[in-house]
A and B are shown apart, each in its own frame.
Chain A
Amino acid sequence: MNNVFVYCEIEDGQVAEVSQELLTKGRTLANELKCKLEAIAIGHQLEGIADQIIPYGADTLYLADDKRLYPYQTLPHTSIIVNLFKEEKPQIALMGASSIGRDLGPRVSSALHSGLTADCTSLVIGEHYDKKADKKYENLLYQIRPAFGGNIIATIINPDCRPQMATVREGVMKKSIIDPKYKGKTVKLDVSKYVNDTDFVVEIIERHMEKSKLNIKGSPIIVAGGYGVGSKENFQLLHELAEVLGGEVGASRAAVDAGYVEHERQIGQTGLTVRPKLYIACGISGQIQHRAGMEQSAQIIAINTDPEAPINSIADYVITGDIADIVPKMIKYYKTNTK
């Protein structure tokens, strides 16, 4: 009761990275709140899955194992979580802001009438004083996220409803095993008590999941382009620079929306969060949603025609000028100086 819960997503017998990142964050929150960290995994053939969950510090792992529970479907997974939460009454519940978490989270929050904050970039414990009711709250979850096109950062709280629910994108939190031999117990749920047969109304006809071929998150150097790159053709220059430097190409949402580059490369609050050694931002103005995904880069170069671009204020090197002129020079002087 009153613990921190993490919903663990499973694909092909693997626990999603984002779930392990949330377990790590959940462990920290549970320590601070002096409560337990609990996890739930729903799927089929879950023997062995505990090894991918408990070492992150989970004290309890609930397993719902049934062949109808994989792949993910909205209604059965919702029923299991809603019924388990009614019994266990967690104070906090975290899910990945993934295709699954963003389908499941709102459904669960509506059924339980608990608040849900999407795409949080930071989660911390804090207090709150409600002036109107003259009521003091302690140990609330501050759910922090950029809002309104990234012009503001909002701290959201759920003072009265439980669980306090939040989704977080992959890569925002860091994952780390706290102890490979961490002692956690596994509880097998009697699935028939948590789901109705009528929940299985969807028939999955076809399903293709691809393991991403790109490894932007793991790349030490990222050359990212924004709307200011101007065209798909100009993006080719960025690909060339990335190739020469041994890096990957990323993009802002505006560049993806404009069709310059594929969605998989999007960096920012609603895309990837990256922490490379070097981030080269080309034609990116640097709204907060984008910065949320890259500001922890060790070094940042900003290339922009606008000397006032917000990205410049977090850059180590600011170059004002045309990408078509500057990027080839960077390639040239890299080559001449590394032979």
Chain B
Amino acid sequence: MKAYNIIVLAKQVPDTRNVGKDAMKADGTVNRAVLPAIFNPEDLNALEQALRIKDKFPGTTVKILTMGPGRAADIIREGLYRGADGGILLTDRAFAGSDTLATSYALGQALKKIENVDLVIAGRQAIDGDTAQVGPQVAEKLNMLQVTYVEEVKELKNNTIVLKRRLERGVETVKCPLPLVITVNGSAPECRARNAKLLMTYKRAKTVTELQKENEDYTHLYNDRPELNIPEWTVNDIETDKSQLGLTGSPTKVKSIENVVLQAKDSKIISDNDADIENMMLELIESHTIG
């Protein structure tokens, strides 16, 4: 039986679904410090699809590739706890300010360094931007086919895969050859929970930068157990054309950002007592809004 090399693209995102009142600073910028950083939800759906293939095809490896600041190593640890075999943190100031295209370029160049990739699986989109662009753009950069909006891997045989897609107005089942980039929809099965044993095994998995910050010397531990090293790739570890990176490599620029200021309408404040509700309904009926 064939084993597959799978890379899961994952992103650490601020949890924009739980934005509190203190999420914006007085100057109108986003207060990232108060927003918890989480594993992008649809990337977890993607990880689950990868792990299911690993369950079926022993010898398959699942590795997580994430681009972000040092703390994004959390994403790789989270993946390890759930069954991934390893991960790579792509981190460098040179990537700062990247739009989706510059991000896809950097991820694409990192993927080119990894040999024999059969499948790249990513979430459909990240909740901090909702653009759904990075999956298809990475595919284009790698000159690979893409299948987006995937809900289920129906069949995988040798180098052919059958995928079910959940589209806006329907479903589609497609058959195509590997290698391939897949983006997974939120309607796909949720990711399995952390495994207690894996949590114990990998809780000390660290990047070199994280190790340097620690006071104690664990050199020993990491020499004995190389699986605890999370590789960190900077711009020097991948081949890049500097003009395609970061802000410079981003065709889109943010011209301006406006804090959302609500202009209060002249609202009628109504209590929940019967008389008030009845009056409101009467007004709406009289104005022919309803009825």
Task: Name the A residues within 8 Å of B274 (CB-CB).
Answer: 329, 333
In the assembly, what is the distance between CA of A253 and CA of B24, in Å? 21
| A115 engages B272 (CB within 8 Å) | no
Say yes or no: A110 contacts B255, CB within 8 Å: no
Which of B171, B172, B255 contacts A157, CB < 8 Å? B255
Q: Do A208 and B171 touch across chains, with their CB atoms under 8 A apart?
A: yes
B137, A110: Cβ atoms under 8 Å?
Answer: yes
Complex alpha-carbon distance, A221 and B291, angstroms: 10
Encode B171-191 as 1/0 by CB contact (under 8 A) with A.
111111100000000010000
B136 touching A206, Cβ below 8 Å: no
Docked-complex contact B168 and A318, CB < 8 angstroms:
no
A110-B137, A113-B251, A115-B101 given; A205·B162 CB < 8 A: yes
Of A51-59, A86-94, A142-150, the one touching chain B: A142-150
Contact indicator B289/A277 (Cβ below 8 Å): yes
B151 at the interface (CB under 8 A from A): no
A75 and B145 contact, CB distance less than 8 A: yes
> Does B234 touch A at the CB level, under 8 Å?
no
Say whether A201 contacts B174, CB under 8 Å: no
Cβ of B262 under 8 Å from chain A: yes
Q: Does A116 contact B (CB under 8 A)?
A: yes
Residues from chain A with a CB closer than 8 A to the CB of B128 are: 148-149
Contact B168 A98 (CB under 8 A): yes
Q: Which of B128, B134, B280 has the most CB of A within 10 A?
A: B280
How far does the Cβ of A77 sit from chain B's closest Cβ, in whole Å? 12
Taking the complex as formed, is B91 at the interface, i.e. its CB lies under 8 A from any CB of chain A?
no
- The answer to the question of B270 belonging to the interface, with a C-beta cut-off of 8 Å to chain A, is yes
Q: Is the CB of A203 within 8 A of B175?
A: yes
A318 x B268 contact (CB < 8 A): yes
Contact assessment for B278 and A333 in the assembled complex, using a CB-CB cutoff below 8 Å: yes
> Do A313 and B262 touch across chains, with their CB atoms under 8 A apart?
yes
Evaluate contact between A116 and B285: CB separation under 8 angstroms.
no
Are A204 and B173 CB-contacts (below 8 A) given A148-B128, A299-B289? yes
Interface secondary structure of B, over-half rule:
mixed
A330 to B24, CA, bound (A): 36
**Interface bin, chain B:** 35 or more
* Residue from the list B30, B100, B132, B284 in contact with A152, Cβ < 8 A: B30
Asked whether any CB of chain B lies closer than 8 Å to the CB of A95, the reply is no
Interface centre among A128, A149, A158, A257, by most chain B C-beta atoms within 10 angstroms, is A149
Interface majority SS on A: helix, strand, loop or mixed? mixed
A337 touches B169 (CB 8 A): no
Q: Quick check: is A121 within 8 A (CB to CB) of the other chain? A: no
Contact with A along B251-291 (1 / 0, CB 8 A): 11111111110111101111110101110111011000111
Bound complex: CA of A116 vs CA of B251, how far in Å? 8
**B290 and A278: CB pair below 8 A?**
yes
Question: Is A310 an interface position by the 8 A CB rule?
Answer: yes
| Residue A315 is within 8 A (CB to CB) of chain B in the complex | yes
Contact, CB under 8 Å: B255 / A156: yes
A159 within 8 A of partner (CB) = yes
Interface presence of A316 (CB below 8 A): yes
Chain A residues with Cβ below 8 Å from B281 are 330, 333-334, 337
A125 within 8 Å of B (CB atoms): no
CB nearest neighbor in A for B183: A103
B226 at the A interface (CB under 8 A): no
With both beta carbons as reference points, the residue of chain B lying nearest to A157 in the complex is identified as B255
The interface residues of chain B lying within 8 Å CB-to-CB of A71 are 172
Contact in complex: B252, A157 (CB < 8 Å)? yes
The 3 closest A-B pairs by CB, nearest first: A149-B16, A115-B251, A321-B272
**Besides A115-B99, A116-B100, 17 new A-B residue pairs in contact (Cβ under 8 A), listed by A number:** A74-B146, A103-B148, A103-B149, A105-B136, A106-B134, A109-B137, A147-B257, A150-B16, A156-B253, A206-B171, A277-B289, A298-B289, A301-B280, A316-B265, A320-B271, A325-B272, A330-B277
Residues on A lying within 8 angstroms of B by beta carbon are 11, 71, 74-75, 78, 98-99, 102-103, 105-107, 109-111, 113-119, 128, 142-143, 146-161, 201-212, 221, 245-246, 254, 257, 263, 269-270, 277-278, 287-288, 298-299, 301-302, 310, 312-322, 325-326, 329-330, 333-334, 336-338
- Report B's interface with A, CB cutoff 8 A: 14, 16-17, 19, 23-24, 28, 30, 99-101, 104, 127-137, 139-141, 145-149, 162, 165, 167-177, 187, 250-260, 262-265, 267-272, 274, 276-278, 280-282, 284-285, 289-291
